[in-house]
Amino acid sequence: MRYPIPMTRALLLAFILLGSSSLSIAQTPPSQPDLATWRAKRAADISAPDGWLSLVALGWLKDGDNSIGSAEDNSIRIANNPPARVPDHLCVLTVAAGHITLHSPASGFPAGFFLDSQPPAEAILRPDDEPHPSVLATENLRLVLLHRGDRYALRVKDADSPARTAFRGLHWYAPDPRFHVTAKWIPFTPPHTEQVPTAIGTTLALTAPGLAEVTLDGKTVQLEPVLEGDDHKQLFFILRDATSRTTTYEASRFLYTGLPSNGIDQPGTLDIDFNRLENPPCAYTPYATCPLPPYINRLPISIPAGEQRYNR
């Protein structure tokens, strides 16, 4: 059957558009939302009541008793931001024999204070590197123990923090298809342990399964991701590029990707979208304990893609 010329052109255009749409879909892994949705969710997570903008204190615990509250006589003092809902004396944390035990202050636990959503009682608390970490909370506060090296700290988040209430959004480079690339995956056999430095002077021993080799603007570089946690469902890149001197966060940016095409232990390819580069928590608060880039991920080239510096 022969179609009139206009019909033939219409069908041809439809096939072109369909093919173009299929290519666009293929560029985004099924497990990832589209870029605009992902960026909107990231802003919502950062500014959530327990997001990074709510982090107001990181107090290192000493052996013995550590009193917590807004009064000046506390070992760890929590600023009383308007509307002034932090009790003078919240609790006492006692460090002894490798355990942290919760005790009430002399005045008793304040009303509205909870341990794991239950009325508090004396108990040994679980830090963040144990299953189901203990959570101390009031209406606006959330307190969690961190275990870093041989030290313990108390992380305090306040939904009333000035940084959160003043949030006006994040800043991004415009999406650029040049920075959505297919990398060559080069596995380490066997994987090795990377000693990753942190912003607080400690070191994290993280598994590095291989290298991703990419070419950007005619220059080929290698990036080394690490694995977080036990599920190993994604790769975690900690990197810094030349834009850190001008438009992006000075210390580093983070990037999460799916796994390589043939698994982490076989040569293959890796989908990398640098438009999803994001700032570390340290870009939003001085109380975070961020990892820093290993030497191989301190790049001499510029990657003007992803999240830019956060303006407080």
244 pLDDT exceeds 90? yes
Mean pLDDT of 281-298: 96
Backbone dihedral angles phi then psi of residue 12, each to the nearest 5 degrees: -60, -45
Architecture of domain 52-165: Sandwich (2.60)
Average per-residue pLDDT in the chain?
A: 89
User: How many C-alpha atoms does 264 have within 13 Å on its Cβ side?
Assistant: 21
Percent of all residues in the chain with a pLDDT value above 90, rounded to a whole number: 81
In angstroms, rounded to a whole number, what is the distance separating the alpha carbons of residues 269 and 263?
Answer: 9
Please tell me the predicted confidence (pLDDT) of residue 32: 61
Burial of residue 229, with CB atoms counted within 10 A of its CB: 0-12 exposed, 13-18 middle, 19 or more buried: exposed
**What are the domain boundaries of the chain?**
30-46+169-297, 52-165
The whole-model pTM stands at 0.84
Place of tokens 């510029």: 302
Mean pLDDT of 206-232: 93
> What sign for the dihedral angle of Cα 66, 69, 75, 79?
positive
Give the model confidence (pLDDT) of 48-89 as tens digits.
Answer: 999 999 999 999 999 999 999 999 999 999 998 888 889 999
If you ran DSSP here, which 8-state letter would residue 17 be given? H
Strands 64-69 and 76-77: parallel
- Check pLDDT > 50 for residue 237: yes
Q: Is the peptide bond before 300 cis (omega within 30 degrees of 0)?
A: no
Task: Give the integer Cα–Cα distance in Å for 105 and 107.
Answer: 5
pLDDT attached to residue 270: 98
Is pLDDT above 70 for 25? no
Taking the C-alpha atoms of residue 212 and residue 268, their distance in angstroms, rounded to an integer, is 10
Structure tokens at 202: 């400690």
Could you tell me if 251 and 292 are in contact, meaning their C-beta atoms sit under 8 angstroms apart? yes
